[in-house]
Chains A and B, each alone.
Chain A
Amino acid sequence: MAGTIQNQDKFLNKIASRLGRERISSPVERPDWKYRPQDEVLKNASQDELVDVLKKQCANIHTDFYETEKKDLPEVLEQIVSSYGGGPVITWKDDRYAQWGLESLFKKEWPKNNIEVREWDFENGEESIIKAESANAAITISEITLAESGTTVLFSDKDKGRMVSFLPATYIALVPKSSLVPRITQAAQKMREMQQETGRVPSCINFITGPSNSADIELNLVVGVHGPIKASYILINDL
């Protein structure tokens, strides 16, 4: 359903007249910018070098960094969740968890140990939000990972609710090594390609860099304000 636009012409005509010209009616070409410093950052860095940069940056952003092979992922994840005090855990509805060998942990081991595993279910939206709100840990997957800033990028869709990453007390991101890029520049380029190929991007793209924090009280850093209080990234080497 298309939306509405009100008061546009008068408003834009005034802008054009202040700029001393007619309204622009033909497409403006994106300029060839004179400066492009963003391309120089970590230029030609290998995937292993990017891992090093990410690892170091995690220390700056109060985020624990783990590295593992796919086969050991369940064990690492289990340790992190118990160090966070256990469940309930909330996940997206996403086949990749099973492909990465987590099915048995989610469906058998954790429930057996009284760690409840909840899955986002868009058909029961309200309930999913409430389940996320009372969850202790969120397990998400980073679609693009920015080495320079230590950022995980999440794309929302019906099976990947926005609130999975925000409401629980702690945040865990699974990071395939192949998702690493130098910086936000490459993510922006991918988003643009996606927009041009499919006509739109997901309604919510989140760039998440460590836990929620604030320095609003006497500039003291407080970690964990509205969103998660702790964060961990698990880099999966063979993905």
Chain B
Amino acid sequence: MAMKIGSNEFNERVGQGIDDAFMRGAVSGAQDSMGVRRSNAAEELGNWEDWRSHGEEIRQHVLEHLDYYLEQLSKNVAELGGHVFFAETKEEANEYIRGIAQKKQAKKIVKAKSMVTEEIGLNAVLEEEGCKVIETDLGEYILQVDDHDPPSHIVVPALHKNKEQIRDVFKEKLGYKKTSKPEELALHAREMLREEYMTADIGITGCNFAVAESGSISLVTNEGNADLVTALPKTQITVMGMERIVPTFEEMEVLVSLLTRSAVGQKLTSYISVLTGPREAQDADGPEEFHLVIVDNGRSDILGGEFQSILQCIRCAACINVCPVYRHIGGHSYGSIYSGPIGAVLSPLLGGYDEYKELPYASTLCGACTEVCPVKIPLHDLLHKHREVIVEKEGKAPISEKLLMKSFGIGAASPMLYKFGTKFAPTALNPYTNGESISKGPGPMKAWTDIREFPAPNKERFRDWFKNRKKEENAHGRDDSESR
């Protein structure tokens, strides 16, 4: 599977998403619990804004000096005995890795979750080569066993599946005989995968952050699968997006802290592994051979332009977990492995406007994403910029917002979506407020207010809204989904 998922048009995908009741329940439940965990983890620190500012200054500094840090990293990796390959395109990356698999006559390859290998479509290339490729992250494993069902969330890839579906897939494909209890399902996966780790020829991982000064890579997981993938096979290949790098361990720890708090609300995840080169002389585990593949695949075209800040992203999914549109349409609707606000900004840049021109419209521009982003990417501004570029190119919007909102099922009874799009609205909208509802709104809301009259945003800021959301939704009877 490459970056693009599915072949349906945007409208159809959205329709399918909205019709999938389990998926929508799962998404809203996930958003609630992960959103609350994130905001607790952030608030607990007391000075979360300083943390975000520090994350931002580190990421900006790295991007401005990216050639320097990548050169330092590769020199250090090579000195440790590792091999570095710079791949400008996905084809170059895939060919290099295919070459290693051939040389090693690899039959079995275990992988630990990596967005970038999905992005370049590596698995298909290796399978073509006759290798059995096994994803070891539990969520990805489930999807893989289910005939490569695409991921719907960058942190919880199988979010759209319920445990009964997973049990049925395991039954059919793995001869599983037990119940749909998550513990039993996970135990079965553990047993199946243990065997695979012990007998794999190559382990492939992504990279959360590479450390230029020491030539290290770091991997962040809760399951511990990345450790088994890197310690048992004789050859390790790590594939990293070229921007996933920091100067020293000291910056690494800051970004890891931001990542784990923002992604899952944990102070640190269960396993953070810092790997430096291949195994040392006399070590009995760890890879004998280590390859680092540094991938551009369209990233350098983003550098130096108005979208550069999107390369600050640390893939935490906090923006996805608060996005009202993602909540409504689910991950598959984006047609890309990168969903939610990050996906709506990144997919058109990496995959082209032709393929993804609707995505920047899959947003209410409410700014909730920008507010939670731990490295302060102005996501909703970037979405707005995309729209400007698209309108300039095409002379018009690719999809009328009216139609889009309709296809989101937001037509008649969904006041919740607007209630919190209020970062700027309480003041900006006041002139238009006519008692309880707005008849004509400025900017992004205009097209929508053409469809119907919206309740006026109240003064509640997003953060407060989020805390109260559960309560409110009950009061509203979750009517945004039922009464379409």
Known contacts A185-B250, A218-B163, A220-B182; 15 additional CB pairs below 8 A are: A2-B81, A11-B296, A13-B67, A28-B68, A124-B284, A129-B284, A149-B268, A161-B283, A163-B232, A191-B249, A207-B272, A217-B163, A218-B182, A224-B187, A225-B190
Contact B26 A218 (CB under 8 A): yes
Hey, which chain B residues are within 8 Å of A215, CB to CB?
A: 156, 222, 264
26 A-B residue pairs with Cβ-Cβ distance under 8 Å, sorted by A, are A2-B78, A2-B79, A5-B74, A5-B78, A11-B242, A23-B67, A24-B67, A30-B247, A33-B54, A35-B54, A37-B47, A37-B51, A121-B284, A125-B284, A158-B281, A185-B254, A189-B249, A192-B248, A201-B214, A205-B274, A212-B270, A213-B222, A216-B156, A224-B190, A225-B223, A226-B193
Contact B256 A184 (CB under 8 A): yes
Query: Could you tell me the distance between the alpha carbons of A150 and B269 in the complex, rounded to whole angstroms?
Result: 10
Contact A212 B213 (CB under 8 A): no
Which B residues have a C-beta under 8 Å from some C-beta of A? Answer: 26, 29-30, 33-34, 45, 47, 50-51, 53-54, 57-58, 61, 64-71, 74-75, 77-88, 92, 96, 136-139, 142, 156-159, 162-163, 166, 182-183, 185-187, 189-190, 193-194, 198, 213-214, 216, 222-225, 227-228, 230-232, 242, 247-250, 252-254, 256-257, 264, 266-286, 290, 294, 296, 300-301, 303-305
**How far is the CB of A68 from the nearest CB of chain B, in Å?**
24
Closest to B55 in A: A35
Interface size bracket, A side: 35 or more
Contact B80 A200 (CB under 8 A): yes
Hey, which chain A residues are within 8 Å of B139, CB to CB?
A: 214, 216
Hey, which chain B residues are within 8 Å of A218, CB to CB?
A: 26, 162-163, 182
Query: Could you tell me the distance between the alpha carbons of A222 and B85 in the complex, rounded to whole angstroms?
Result: 38
Given A212-B271, A225-B225, A37:B45 Cβ within 8 A: yes
Stretch of A14-22, A77-85, A97-105 on the interface side: A14-22
Closest to B136 in A: A226
Hey, which chain B residues are within 8 Å of A8, CB to CB?
A: 71, 74, 84, 86
Hey, which chain A residues are within 8 Å of B157, CB to CB?
A: 216
Given A1-B81, A203-B276, A166:B227 Cβ within 8 A: yes
Q: Which of A40, A125, A200, A225 contacts B276 (CB 8 A)?
A: A200
Of the candidates A124, A183, A185, A226, the one having the most CB atoms from chain B within 10 angstroms of its own CB is A226
Contact B286 A227 (CB under 8 A): no
